[in-house]
Amino acid sequence: MDTDRPRLRTASRRVTPALAWTAAAGLPLAFLGLFFAYPVLALTWRGLVVDGGLDLTGVADVLTAPRTWRLLGLTLAQGALGSLLAVLLGVPGAYVLYRCRFPGRALVRAFVTVPFVLPTVVVGVAFRTLLVEGGPLGFLGLDGTFAAIVAALVFFNYPLVVRTVGGMWERLDPRPEQAARSLGAPPWRAFVTVTLPALAPAIASAAAVVFLFCATAFGIVLVLGGLRFGTIETEIWVQTTQFLDLRAAAVLSVVQLVVIAGALWLSARLRARRERALHLRTDPAAAQPLRLVRRGRTGRLRPGGDAVAAAVTAVVVLGLLAGPLLTLLVRSFRTPDGWGLDHYRSLTTTGGPNTLTVSVWEATVNSLRIAVDATVLAVVVGTLLALVLSRRPRRPAARRAIGALDSFVMLPLGVSAVTVGFGFLIAFDAGWLDLRTSPLIVPVAQAVVAVPLVVRTVLPVLRAIDPRLREAAAMLGAGPGRVLRTVDGPFLVRGLGLAVGFAFAVSLGEFGATSFLARPESPTLPVVIFRLIGRPGADNYGMALAASVVLALLTATVMSLAERARGDRTGEW
Amino acid sequence: MTTYDTAPPARRRGPLRVTAGLAVAMLGLGACSTIGTGDAATDDATVLDVVTHDSFTLSDGLLADFEEETGYEIRQVAPGDAGALVNQLVLTKDAPLGDVVYGIDNAFAARAVDEGVLDDYVSPDAAPGGTFAGALTAVDRGDVCINVDHEWFAAAGLPEPVTLEDLTDPRYADLLVVTNPATSSPGLSFLLATVGAFGEDGWVDYWAALRDNGVRVVPSWSDAYYVDFSGSEGAGPRPLVLSYASSPAAEVTDDGPAPTGALLDTCFRQTEYAGVLAGADNVAGAQAFVDFLLSTPVQEDIPGQMYMYPVLEGAAVPPGWAEHAPLAPAPHEVAPEVISAHRDTWIETWTQTVLG
């Protein structure tokens, strides 16, 4: 009898963590199930069910339309090109901004985050102002072209690649690369064989998110491409909000989901092969000075090792990013009678002849309060998911479950904001679920969008932790909670700063779902900007620009603070 | 060579302190979160849920006066522009978004009525002819017209166009920018103006001529007005833009004459209605609100707030409107039932004709 006791104890020891992990997975799954899957399915169901029966004639109609296939092609082309370019340009940016030291780095880091949250309606106007015939870049002939759309997508998503890859890069142990160098490998070779493979999961992670953002971009595609260049997403928006053709919208949503699921599956396969334990540091490695020039053997100055990366980054930051942003900034100071701060002063008002229900500052406060709720929700849900996803269980079934979960949590990025917004309205309409007038509905909708970003930011770091560390800790007698605290904890805390920053930024900038759900007496900053720019009059336009500058500064500040919380020991912040 | 590991150990805040700091910051911020600030007592009979399009606004105090007089507490919902508004009302008709709606226009009125979104009620104060199907009461009206940059035409020594036909004249080639009727409500209005002017058979040919004359189509009003139009902030390349008859009033500055004007022969008349929602919890309040929108203070507040004309003839409009923002004497019109029956096919035909 007594001999059974030790075995019993091991069993119970194994059961408790399993239970804990199930609970850790259950809470976020319940959240995403209730606030994402349910409303989306409810709306799709409405489109596919006619008079109580499933009506699939719409499927054939939509799938045989040449327009659908053209849009599908454009969607894929836009997603692929946008993410490829964002990665090609963003990786050198990550290197320059996170591994090199130069005067003004802190400012540039804050600056490159700004595009990520700017309202598309404002950026669209800024881009078109540059590109329109007779505009500063009108000679390029890009107005209304596919190239303009892709450029704008890179503009929006470059920050994401720089932050995600840079965050990983600065914590990579530099010694393997140094070893390769001291064994005689030239810098490019050391980079390709040592550093690049180590960064691959972070790059793949960023690329997957950027692909989803590009393939489902909607506002900027409408503004820059009209309906000639559309995506499945813009078509869903038109069919839902303009024609109320839920049947077509539902079929298109399913098509989009299939595309997104395919892309996710592909990226998960690519990632899985590359992901391995890395030597990470909890603190960022000290950055080295930027080497722009070196002295050649003859004593002449030659381009240094960082020259290419620095040049690429300079071109992107000064050209692609600064162009539209400076257009916004400069025009926000232009008044009917010259230059001045008039538009900023009127931010305390509700606009010339009362365009708004609240002043821009009040809307800013609303945005910040909503962002706090959305961030707390997204970070709690996202971190739990990342912890679950970072485990490598031995049983194949459990591994497959984790793989499926990994793709599922990304889906909110692949479903249109219109579907989520409209879905909320019809799904939460009665009984205890009547959330339509609840102040929580906006933060919840925004958190749904932010969760995948939190997961993709935290997860690469957690997965890079050598599982042997955890095993060793467990072997030495640490309980699962202790292992989590001492092994995963420090990395989690560092990764969390970035995740909080992203979640906050997403919430500050979200417009699609928010515009359907926000209450008029408590609009968010992007909603107010949209409203201002929808009115005639130079004053309203100027105020919209000034408000966008406020939004941009707010974002840059929040991202900087989030980075600072990670404890950058160079102490530049 | 720099070795990273010998970097001076700067004073570091431990992860724990960072976490603690973050937690404190979060709690502090949490104190000002939105949770708990909502009105808890929701289904109170004294609450009146008002659903509007996203351009609804009245001067401070007017809604408060209404609340004080009637004892109702107003809660607003504004889920989008006129089109999105009606579509959401249709989607949610089993569990309505509110008690009363304002902002359904004549392009979507018939859809709302046909879908059974509204209760039968029209205000006794309605303007003559200002009701629709016994369920909607007109509140305000305005014209969507081509706007012209006076200074551009003066500088070019070219007479300004007057009629819709003029816009297809080669002299005005590449000068006009309009918005897409599939994505913008003024765009839809202008499409309807051409249907009203050239009939259900003639409008397609007219648009083919406009296309051949270099009309530019952009998706949104702000895009057309601020980027492509030369007469406003944008200083764009085109001196003719689709906008509202009231837009020139917003461009007038203290010094000098109005820089822009509206071509009053190119207009479509928009009427905005209010009505009681079917299944409203607070029917009495909803009816009172419709009447309230037709009271003189609200009617006279509308031009300054929403750039629309009051629907009641006696209501005063701001000084300057007669000069800078007059209503079209004979706007183009299409009956709401006709619009409702054909809108989607017209937009499809328009897309094929103009965008290809």
SS (H, E, C) B117-185: CECCCCCCCCCCCCEECCCEEEEEEEEEEEEEEHHHHHHHCCCCCCCCHHHHCHHHCCCEEEECCCCCH
Q: What confidence category does residue A17 fall into, taking pLDDT thresholds of 50, 70 and 90?
A: low
For B117-129, what is the mean pLDDT?
94
Helices A360-389, A538-565: crossing angle, 10 deg rounding: 40
Between chain A and chain B, the number of residue pairs with CB atoms below 8 A apart is 205
pLDDT value of position A291: 75
> Which residues in chain A have their CB less than 8 angstroms from residue B261's CB?
none
Q: What confidence category does residue A410 fall into, taking pLDDT thresholds of 50, 70 and 90?
A: confident
Q: Who contacts A359 (Cβ-Cβ below 8 Å, separation ≥6)? A: A347, A348, A349, A350
Range ranked top by mean pLDDT from A142-146, B13-17, B70-74: B70-74
From the number of C-beta atoms within 10 Å of its C-beta (0-12, 13-18, 19+), residue B176 rates as buried
Report phi then psi at A50, rounded to 5.
-120, 125
More confident residue, A334 or A270: A334
Distance from CA of B264 to the nearest CA of A (A): 18
With a cut of 70, say whether residue B301 has pLDDT above it.
yes
* Residue A241 and residue A512 in contact, taking contact as beta carbons nearer than 8 Å: no
More confident residue, A224 or A444: A444
For B244-263, what is the mean pLDDT?
84
Range ranked top by mean pLDDT from A351-360, B17-26, B49-58, B262-271: B262-271
Instruction: Give one DSSP letter per residue of B181-218, joined into a string.
Output: TTT-HHHHHHHHHHHHHHHHHHHHHHHHHHHHTT-EEE
pLDDT in tens, B163-189: 999 999 999 999 999 999 988 888 999
Segment holding B240, helix H or strand E: strand B240-244
Q: What confidence category does residue B44 fall into, taking pLDDT thresholds of 50, 70 and 90?
A: low
pLDDT value of position B28: 52
Of A75-79, A452-456, B138-142, the poorest mean pLDDT is in A452-456
For B6-21, what is the mean pLDDT?
44
More confident residue, A566 or A483: A483
Closest partner residue to B4 (CB to CB) among A285, A438, A534 is: A285
Range ranked top by mean pLDDT from A390-394, A466-470, A550-554: A550-554
Could you tell me which chain B residue has the CA closest to the CA of A485? B16
More confident residue, A472 or A87: A87
For B267-272, what is the mean pLDDT?
94
With a cut of 50, say whether residue A5 has pLDDT above it.
no
Q: What is the percent of chain A with per-residue pLDDT over 90, rounded to a whole number?
A: 15
For A534, the token pair is: 């929808």
> Which residues in chain B have their CB less than 8 angstroms from residue A222's CB?
183, 219-220
Query: Which residue in B1, B5, B39, B57 has the most chain A C-beta atoms within 10 A of its own C-beta, making it the best mutation to test that interface?
Result: B57
**CB-based contact A132 B237, cutoff 8 Å:** yes
pLDDT value of position A2: 45
Chain B contact for A516, CB < 8 A? Answer: yes
Total-model pTM: 0.81
pLDDT value of position B112: 93
Q: What confidence category does residue B45 fall into, taking pLDDT thresholds of 50, 70 and 90?
A: low
Of A30-34, A141-145, B107-111, B231-235, the poorest mean pLDDT is in B231-235
Give the angle subtended at the CA of B90 by the CAs of B87 and B91, to the nearest 5°.
Answer: 85
Q: What confidence category does residue B50 fall into, taking pLDDT thresholds of 50, 70 and 90?
A: very high
Q: What confidence category does residue B136 fall into, taking pLDDT thresholds of 50, 70 and 90?
A: very high
From the number of C-beta atoms within 10 Å of its C-beta (0-12, 13-18, 19+), residue A480 rates as middle
For A454-471, what is the mean pLDDT?
79
For A301-329, what is the mean pLDDT?
85
> Pairing between strand A53-54 and A49-50?
antiparallel
* Residue B145 and residue B243 in contact, taking contact as beta carbons nearer than 8 Å: yes
pLDDT value of position A484: 73
With a cut of 80, say whether residue B24 has pLDDT above it.
no
Segment holding B317, helix H or strand E: none
pLDDT in tens, A43-86: 888 888 877 778 777 788 888 888 889 889 999 999 999 999 99
pLDDT value of position A50: 76
pLDDT in tens, A185-201: 887 788 888 888 888 88
Q: Which of residues 57-96 of A touch B (CB under 8 A)?
A: none
How far is it, in rounded angstroms, from Cα B125 to Cα A119? 42
Could you tell me which chain A residue has the CA closest to the CA of B225? A536
pLDDT value of position A1: 42
Q: What confidence category does residue A13 fall into, taking pLDDT thresholds of 50, 70 and 90?
A: low
Could you tell me which chain A residue has the CA closest to the CA of B184? A242
> Which residues in chain A have their CB less than 8 angstroms from residue B236's CB?
132, 134-135
Q: What confidence category does residue A556 fall into, taking pLDDT thresholds of 50, 70 and 90?
A: confident
Model-level ipTM above the cut of 0.85: no
With a cut of 80, say whether residue B27 has pLDDT above it.
no
How far is it, in rounded angstroms, from Cα B148 to Cα B259? 9
For B182-199, what is the mean pLDDT?
92
**CB-based contact A536 B250, cutoff 8 Å:** yes
Q: What confidence category does residue B41 fall into, taking pLDDT thresholds of 50, 70 and 90?
A: very low
> Which residues in chain B have their CB less than 8 angstroms from residue A65's CB?
none
Closest partner residue to B227 (CB to CB) among A129, A439, A537 is: A129
With a cut of 50, say whether residue A570 has pLDDT above it.
no
pLDDT value of position A355: 63
pLDDT value of position A537: 74
From the number of C-beta atoms within 10 Å of its C-beta (0-12, 13-18, 19+), residue B161 rates as buried
Could you tell me which chain B residue has the CA closest to the CA of A425? B92
**CB-based contact B15 A520, cutoff 8 Å:** no
With a cut of 70, say whether residue A313 has pLDDT above it.
yes
Q: What confidence category does residue A244 fall into, taking pLDDT thresholds of 50, 70 and 90?
A: confident
